[in-house]
Amino acid sequence: MSKRFLNGSEWAAMILVGAERLTRNVDRVNALNVFPVPDGDTGTNMNLTMTAGVAELKNKPSEEVGRAAEVLSKGLLMGARGNSGVILSQLFRGFARAISGQGELTVPLFANALQQGVDTAYKAVVKPVEGTILTVAREAARHGLTAARRTSDLKEWMVEVHAKASETLARTQDMLPVLKQVGVVDSGGQGLVYLYEGFVDYLSEGNFASSAAQGREFQAPVSLREAPVPPTIPAPAIRASGGANTAAQSKITTESIAFPYDMEFFIQRVTTSSPFPEQTFRKALERDGDSIILIEDEGIVKVHVHSRRPGDVINFALTYGEITHIHILNMQEQHRELLAQQPVVKQEAPAAPRQDEPTSGPVVDYALPGVVDLPSISASPESEPNPDVYELASYGVVAVSVGEGNAELFRSLGVDIVLSGGQSMNPSTEDLLGAITSLSAHHIFVLPNNPNIIMAAKQAAELAERPVTVLQTRTLPQGMAAMLSFQENDSETSNIERMTKAYERVVTGSVTQAVRDTEMDGVQIKEGHYIGIKDKTIVASASSPSEACKALLSDLLVSGGEILTILTGDNAEGEQTEELEQWLAQQYPDVEVEVHEGGQPLYPYLFAVEP
């Protein structure tokens, strides 16, 4: 059965089948991680990113393919996790822009959209590497442009695109030596091939003759209908425990919180023929509110504001369009709970409009009446705000960490918000953006502390309407070194320069168990053995963690070092750690050793050597 076009429902159904194919193969994609360590998460990140996009697609179906692609793009953008997830979101972002306003998708439009998606993704990556998902996407798109001149049948065309993607995926071993050495293909590229495989499956004759293909309302595959939407980090209070943040809160009274209602909602604009009057809207909110964040994206405006009169804010916003997904948090109640040392109730702040979810604690859904007046926000506040409370701090710091001990260390160093995340679970762009926008500071520093989180952090920084510096810390010790050099009273330029020099001086190492037999960097590795990793290079493999630690430390300290920091993981044994300290005292008596209980999973020991 020949098919020459897809409407919005059909295209969405095809996306859902592709996403389901990826969901079924998450473990296979994760297993392609080139390092033999138990933290391969490319498949997980791509799947969580697609799940966020699918949630939007299911919530806002459209018969117009351009609109459906726009909805998916928004969901992917805010749900993107890790480098692979960010790249995937950019591929579909460019795709959506290419078919904006289109009612149906034909082969020529599909081919052009794939190419524009590739162009967008390449622009988002500072230093593209050949042999990755980018290469697979590029070669498939190029072939798609050529194939579009030979056929107008969507199935025939997609079969060729998928075949080219698969062929390129196989060649990634020849493009990246590390892939050839381990004997695997690129994990991100494999995830993309699974998506395309799902597209082909949907377009095949047997599957296409479904209710969705006949133009009726589509249903997501069962596995996706049951899959939960990835959790998001709430704004404004992502974490309110520990460190300087708690101490600062204890110095103010609950009554001094002049604008107690923390509001987040979306405006779906009535008309998009003219630009959204952002400055006018902002000035109106500023008359009786603060902490205002506005993000406008093609007809949808995300609003965040602290206000004294939430009803007036809602009524004013209604003059610009339909209001959806309203969340209001009473910060005075939250503050009272914090002072009583009770856990702060957390609530999701959705990245884009979707089905309402139950709320708890001080977060309430604001029920709109059937008829509302539309007055302007009053220009005469009931009382003057307390300047000491709402004066912006010079800096705010967001750090990503894993393990409660490590999180406490970051808080003690002055980090305001610690997001939980690491190798096995990366925070999304939305999580990071929520943390950034929740801080009342002129300039925000973000410490990703993991190479797979840097791109999502940069994407969040671009979306934030304030100065944000993403320091490219790749390990927890690097992030801690950066914070040790941070000075609250110094200039942004000086802090950036000093913090960057501090983390770049740190030599880091880690010990974990191998999950497969392989040979890397000239080291023979057996499954279950402990491997020592210096930065990104495997330097040791041994049957016990003690032997692996000693071999790794000998390499880390070969050029000297004044301070050695040890972060113990949740499976590190106390006797083993004591033995290691005694060995260090004998072998390296001039090195100052500091031991902290980090609590990180998978890695019993993390090391940092400072000159």
User: Position 265: which residue type?
Assistant: F
pLDDT grade for 126, boundaries at 50, 70 and 90: low
255 or 107, which is more confident: 107
For the cut 90, the answer to whether the pLDDT of residue 224 exceeds it is no
* Element (DSSP H or E) covering residue 597: strand 592-597
- Long-range contacts formed by 160-164: CB under 8 A, 24+ apart: 161/114, 161/196, 162/193, 162/196, 162/197, 162/199, 162/200, 164/139, 164/140
33 or 62, which is more confident: 62
Cα 463 from Cα 269, distance rounded (Å)? 20
pLDDT grade for 352, boundaries at 50, 70 and 90: very low
In tens, the pLDDT along 144-179 reads 999 999 999 999 999 999 999 999 999 998 898 878
pLDDT grade for 231, boundaries at 50, 70 and 90: very low
For the cut 50, the answer to whether the pLDDT of residue 547 exceeds it is yes
Hey, what domains does the chain have and what are their CATH numbers?
5-208 (1.25.40.340), 261-338 (3.30.70.260), 393-505 (3.40.50.510), 507-610 (3.30.1180)
In tens, the pLDDT along 475-511 reads 999 999 999 999 988 999 999 999 999 999 999 999 9
| pLDDT for 364 | 33
Percent share of the chain, pLDDT over 70: 77
What value does the mean pLDDT take over residues 226-239? 32
In tens, the pLDDT along 565-608 reads 999 998 899 899 999 999 999 999 999 999 999 999 889 999 99
| pLDDT for 588 | 93
Cα 390 from Cα 582, distance rounded (Å)? 51
Q: Which of 29-33, 51-55, 355-359, 510-514 has the lowest mean pLDDT?
A: 355-359
Mean pLDDT of the chain: 80
Angle of helix 65-79 versus helix 42-59 axis, rounded to 10: 140
Residue 307 DSSP class: E
Give the angle subtended at the CA of 10 by the CAs of 216 and 93, to the nearest 5°: 140
In tens, the pLDDT along 326-344 reads 878 787 776 676 566 444 4
What value does the mean pLDDT take over residues 417-425? 75
In tens, the pLDDT along 503-542 reads 999 999 999 998 888 888 788 999 899 999 998 899 999 9
* Element (DSSP H or E) covering residue 302: strand 300-307
Q: 0.85 cut: is pTM over it?
A: no
- In angstroms, what CA-CA distances link 161 with 146, 199, 415, 582? 10, 10, 47, 60
Residue 255 DSSP class: G
Are the beta carbons of 203 and 197 closer than 8 angstroms? no
In tens, the pLDDT along 433-490 reads 988 988 878 899 999 999 989 999 999 998 887 899 999 999 999 999 999 999 988 9
In tens, the pLDDT along 380-389 reads 333 333 333 3
